[in-house]
Amino acid sequence: MADSANASVPIVRWLPDETFFSICCRQHRFMCRGTKASTTAWLFGEGSSSVQHDFPSKLNSLPQKAKEVWGSPLNIITEHTILPLFFPFQSKEKIRDVLDTVSKNSLGTLKYRLGLVTGRFGAEHPLKACLECLKEDRIKHGVAYWHLSHQYPGVTLCPKHGTLIRICSANRQWSDSAHWVLPAEDLIASVAEQPVCPTVVQILKRLGHSVIELATLGISVQFRPEDVMGAYNEAIRHLSVNTEACFDAEADLASFASQLQPYLPLASLPTTPQKAETFIQSLIRTPRVNSHPLKHLIMITYIFGEFAPFLGALNRFQSACDQETYSPDHEKQAVGDKPAHRFKGQEIRDRVFKKLKPKKLKPELREQILGCLRKGVEKNSIAERYGVSISTINRILRADPHMMAAWITQRRDLSLHDHRADWVSAIGMNPDVSPKVLRLMLPKVYQWLYRNDNDWLMAQTKRMPSGRVGNNQKIDWGARDRQLCESIELIIQRGKTPATNLPVRADHIFALVPTLHRCLEKRNRYPEARKLLESVTQSTKT
Ligand SMILES: [Zn+2]
């Protein structure tokens, strides 16, 4: 559609906290005679056909009239997309690359270059909305629209209403095609339940606030990786000193992460001390520029509680040479008038690591703890849930050798399940890698399985590609189908655990097995996985 033909088209104006995708959807609705293709061509020029809702592209091609009302491409990127969340922990070169790509070109491999495709949080950012906001927006603005603050990965509760933000079924990776679609009740669903435990609500709120604060800093700040690493190390040292002998960073982080894990995209957070150790070490040993901001924000929320004390700690690691990139105005805005040293001591001690005094257990409480131990629940989770110390739990276990044996067996079974799930899910995410490469990617998981579950591990590795180039003809599709089925079955099993107790729906499985949609695109392959998915879909309908 020629620009001149639409010279008279009025341009819609921004609503509060609105995304760029949302204003395009409203413009599409406004130009009601247009098809999806004609709106896309009008926005981004002839030949443009794809619709993206998370990262924009070809912003320089927007009609002049739209630029006048919506602002420059830079303004659109920094004020109306989730991209600024990815800037503070990235290098300047990478940010220039992002700005250049989304202004001039199609996205291409941008998500891969940002490390999202291979990261633990995935590269998909599904559209999200809050039911309460939907109703309010219709009354206030006459239309329900996509709020920017809801779209960031890691924001799970509506900042305004505190209710669980729901995920839109349209424009997902497995959808036939993406559309200019505005939020509506029949399009949004929940893959998790509204948290009822006040501790979980608090953690989700704090993480969500931190995500939004980081995104607000956006392009104005680039953190130096060595300063970030220094701030983490110092805070962990303080925690070890101030919380006496009961501080166990790995177990604490695992317990913290277990509470976040049911919420997308946090499913792959480390929930065992072993995995938590790898997670922490990766952030405190080597300065990193390519880690997903959520990885840092999990660490920040875990150690500092909130984002502002982290900025205060970081400030002390800034040297004079980076004053030019670290604007004092932003520091003031984010940290307020809180002196940097205030985050030390009491503030951290009081946060999650409450001092646990020895307690005389009432019989009722003792029974509840025994119930958890019988199920093999981790000691730290029990301590957190019932406000008792680890030594109290150890005392209970020592007093009953049968209980001790049952607990150890259960823990081993759960650990076996977790390690197998990690291995199978890594195969699913990297179907073409050889056992050797996968072993290098997951050394600890491999070692654990090698020592404890060797037969299963060997059976798995036999079905994997050999790693030699040029043997495409020998792909064992049956083995891949079986592996995909195992990934799906593990997700179904996890969904049935008493901790979550949710019916497992197909969209949940698609969200948690990131390669599934790509596999199913091969129409003549994966018959067993298709059958399994069909049975899941049938059972959730009945
Ligand atoms: Zn809301």
Secondary structure of residue 168 in the 3-state scheme: strand
The CA distances from residue 420 to 106, 120, 413, 433, in Å, are 38, 17, 11, 17
- How many angstroms separate the CA atoms of 365 and 380, rounded? 16
pLDDT at 473: 53
Please tell me whether residues 495 and 515 are part of one structural domain: yes
What digits encode the pLDDT tens for the residues 185-194? 988 877 667 7
pLDDT band at 79 (very low <50, low <70, confident <90, very high): very high
Secondary structure of residue 136 in the 3-state scheme: helix
**Which residues, listed in sequence order, are joined to residue 166 by a DSSP beta bridge?**
129
- Write the DSSP symbol of residue 361: P
Of residues 117 and 392, more confidence is placed in: 392
79: CA distance to ligand 1 center in Å? Answer: 19
What digits encode the pLDDT tens for the residues 54-65? 999 999 999 999
Question: What is the arithmetic mean of pLDDT over 432-457?
Answer: 83
What digits encode the pLDDT tens for the residues 134-144? 999 999 999 99
Of residues 160 and 411, more confidence is placed in: 160
pLDDT at 402: 81
Strand order in the sheet with 128-129: 128-129, 166-168, 188-189
199: CA distance to ligand 1 center in Å? Answer: 20
219: CA distance to ligand 1 center in Å? Answer: 26
What digits encode the pLDDT tens for the residues 178-217? 889 999 998 887 766 777 788 889 999 999 999 999 999 9
474-488 as b/e: b if 16+ CB within 10 A: eeeeeebbebbbbbb
424: CA distance to ligand 1 center in Å? Answer: 37
Question: Which secondary structure element, helix H or strand E, spans residue 167, and what is its range?
Answer: strand 166-168
Please tell me whether residues 167 and 225 are part of one structural domain: no
132: CA distance to ligand 1 center in Å? Answer: 5
* 19 found inside a domain: yes
Q: Is 220 exposed, middle or buried (0-12, 13-18, 19+ CB in 10 A)?
A: middle
pLDDT at 371: 86
- Residues 180, 23 contacting (CB under 8 angstroms): no
pLDDT at 337: 32
131: CA distance to ligand 1 center in Å? Answer: 7
Lowest model confidence (mean pLDDT) among 28-32, 75-79, 162-166, 512-516: 512-516
pLDDT band at 338 (very low <50, low <70, confident <90, very high): very low
- Write the DSSP symbol of residue 510: H
* 461 found inside a domain: no
149: CA distance to ligand 1 center in Å? Answer: 10
Number of domains present in the structure of the chain:
3
- Residues 276, 306 contacting (CB under 8 angstroms): no
- How many angstroms separate the CA atoms of 462 and 288, rounded? 35
* 303 found inside a domain: yes
pLDDT at 542: 58
368: CA distance to ligand 1 center in Å? Answer: 36
Mean pLDDT, all residues of the chain:
80
* 392 found inside a domain: no
24: CA distance to ligand 1 center in Å? Answer: 21
Whether 339 shows a pLDDT value over 50: the answer reads no
| Domain of residue 177, residue span | 1-82+125-189
Secondary structure of residue 34 in the 3-state scheme: coil
Please tell me whether residues 203 and 185 are part of one structural domain: no
21: CA distance to ligand 1 center in Å? Answer: 19
Please tell me whether residues 180 and 267 are part of one structural domain: no
76: CA distance to ligand 1 center in Å? Answer: 23
540: CA distance to ligand 1 center in Å? Answer: 28
Percentage of the chain with pLDDT > 70? 82
232: CA distance to ligand 1 center in Å? Answer: 33
Please tell me whether residues 165 and 272 are part of one structural domain: no
What digits encode the pLDDT tens for the residues 368-426? 888 888 888 888 778 877 778 888 888 888 888 788 888 888 888 888 888 887 788 77
Question: What is the arithmetic mean of pLDDT over 356-376?
Answer: 75
* 175 found inside a domain: yes
Q: Highest mean pLDDT range out of 76-90, 168-182, 318-332, 399-413? A: 76-90
231: CA distance to ligand 1 center in Å? Answer: 34
pLDDT at 7: 60
Q: Is 469 exposed, middle or buried (0-12, 13-18, 19+ CB in 10 A)?
A: exposed
The CA distances from residue 216 to 61, 83, 210, in Å, are 26, 11, 10
Of residues 225 and 346, more confidence is placed in: 225
pLDDT band at 175 (very low <50, low <70, confident <90, very high): low
Q: Highest mean pLDDT range out of 104-113, 123-132, 443-452? A: 123-132
pTM of the model: 0.62
Please tell me whether residues 180 and 229 are part of one structural domain: no
* 67 found inside a domain: yes
pLDDT at 289: 67
309: CA distance to ligand 1 center in Å? Answer: 27
CA 244 to chain centre: 32
Please tell me whether residues 212 and 318 are part of one structural domain: yes
| Residue after which a domain boundary falls, among 140, 164, 189 | 189
Please tell me whether residues 307 and 180 are part of one structural domain: no
Please tell me whether residues 334 and 281 are part of one structural domain: yes
22: CA distance to ligand 1 center in Å? Answer: 16
* 432 found inside a domain: no
- How many angstroms separate the CA atoms of 43 and 187, rounded? 25
| Residue after which a domain boundary falls, among 189, 216, 243 | 189
Please tell me whether residues 67 and 172 are part of one structural domain: yes
pLDDT at 360: 66
* 354 found inside a domain: no
| Residue after which a domain boundary falls, among 311, 328, 349 | 349
157: CA distance to ligand 1 center in Å? Answer: 8
130: CA distance to ligand 1 center in Å? Answer: 5
Please tell me whether residues 224 and 160 are part of one structural domain: no
Cα angle for residues 29, 32, 33 (degrees, 5° grid): 145
160: CA distance to ligand 1 center in Å? Answer: 5
Q: Which residue has the tokens 């001690």?
A: 349
Q: Is 13 exposed, middle or buried (0-12, 13-18, 19+ CB in 10 A)?
A: exposed
Please tell me whether residues 206 and 165 are part of one structural domain: no
